[in-house]
Structure 1
């Protein structure tokens, strides 16, 4: 298993546990390999990621995937396209022994102690890195219609930074 953290900072030597939102315990956050492409974006970029699971209905497969052979779609808003297409991100790798599973659906792992990354690599072609994995990349003026449809569907999803979306 591979675990990652994505940042626009190229020089993080040690990840210290920190509190987010109203958490009671500070944590270092990491993401698993399957969910990692959901983070091939500038940090504040809103996006909707969808993929089927065993309980996904045929109707939802037809609605979302009828024109594609992919099993995953990531959509962003057109206002973010230039930042994504011209951007880069740093992918930090971790030893998975330092983490425990926190949220399986999202692929989140946590550590309550400081963690030193085993590697850092710069990813320059964010869109190419997504599409090279067979993930369909969509651009739309607003994520709201997609968000509304996904929330009523049987698909598995991740919606990230929607507070920055055109709603």
Structure 2
């Protein structure tokens, strides 16, 4: 499940959205109202239930072989995602939908490397939402390791102190540090 050329994706558990209107999310770090979407590179970050805390790491040009082997594993692909055990059933059973949106309505968001795309005007999907399907299967097909951990923090600390690219989403909802 990736966007086609000229598209970005918005993932939701709600299959009834007819129009996306800019808003300020309750967890937003900025005051501007946006419609949020992702490009192909960041699409796998959203192959999860919406509120599922997740930590992700991937190889970037500046990654050292030692960090890659230590965190991802030798010969184990270029990307790893981690969730907590308590989210595994939700990952298996959630009905997640992808909305295809016109990329021309959006601009990259985030520095130094954009991690999302935002629009400041209402956006209508290019068609009906598509059910994403089996999220475990998507990870497997994309060659992404999926780790299930008691807590994310040890993994997160290792990732953020490494030379790998990384992202953490909804980490505040994870189990507390031990």
Report the TM range for the smaller structure's normalisation.
over 0.9
**Aligned residue pair count:** 167
- Does the CA-based 8 Å contact 2:108-2:114 persist in structure 1? no
Task: Give the equivalent residue in structure 2 for 1:79.
Answer: 86
- Does the CA-based 8 Å contact 2:91-2:136 persist in structure 1? yes
Q: Aligned partners of 1:59, 1:130: CA distance in 2, in Å?
A: 24
- Does the CA-based 8 Å contact 1:35-1:106 persist in structure 2? no
TM-score (norm 2): 0.88
Q: CA RMSD in A?
A: 1.5
Q: Which is richer in strand?
A: 1
What is the CA distance between 1:65 and its match in structure 2?
A: 2.5
- Does the CA-based 8 Å contact 1:15-1:116 persist in structure 2? yes
Q: Aligned partners of 1:10, 1:80: CA distance in 2, in Å?
A: 21
What is the CA distance between 1:58 and its match in structure 2?
A: 1.9
Residues 1:127 and 2:136 aligned together? yes
What is the CA distance between 1:67 and its match in structure 2?
A: 4.2
* Unaligned 5+ runs, structure 1: none
- Does the CA-based 8 Å contact 1:77-1:141 persist in structure 2? yes
Q: 1:34 aligns with which of 32, 41, 49?
A: 41
Q: What SS does structure 2 have at the residue aligned with 1:53?
A: coil
- Does the CA-based 8 Å contact 1:77-1:139 persist in structure 2? yes
TM-score (norm 1): 0.94
Task: Give the equivalent residue in structure 2 for 1:7.
Answer: 12
* Unaligned 5+ runs, structure 2: none
In structure 2, the CA distance between the partners of 1:106 and 1:146, relative to structure 1 (3 Å rule), is farther
Q: Aligned partners of 1:85, 1:35: CA distance in 2, in Å?
A: 21
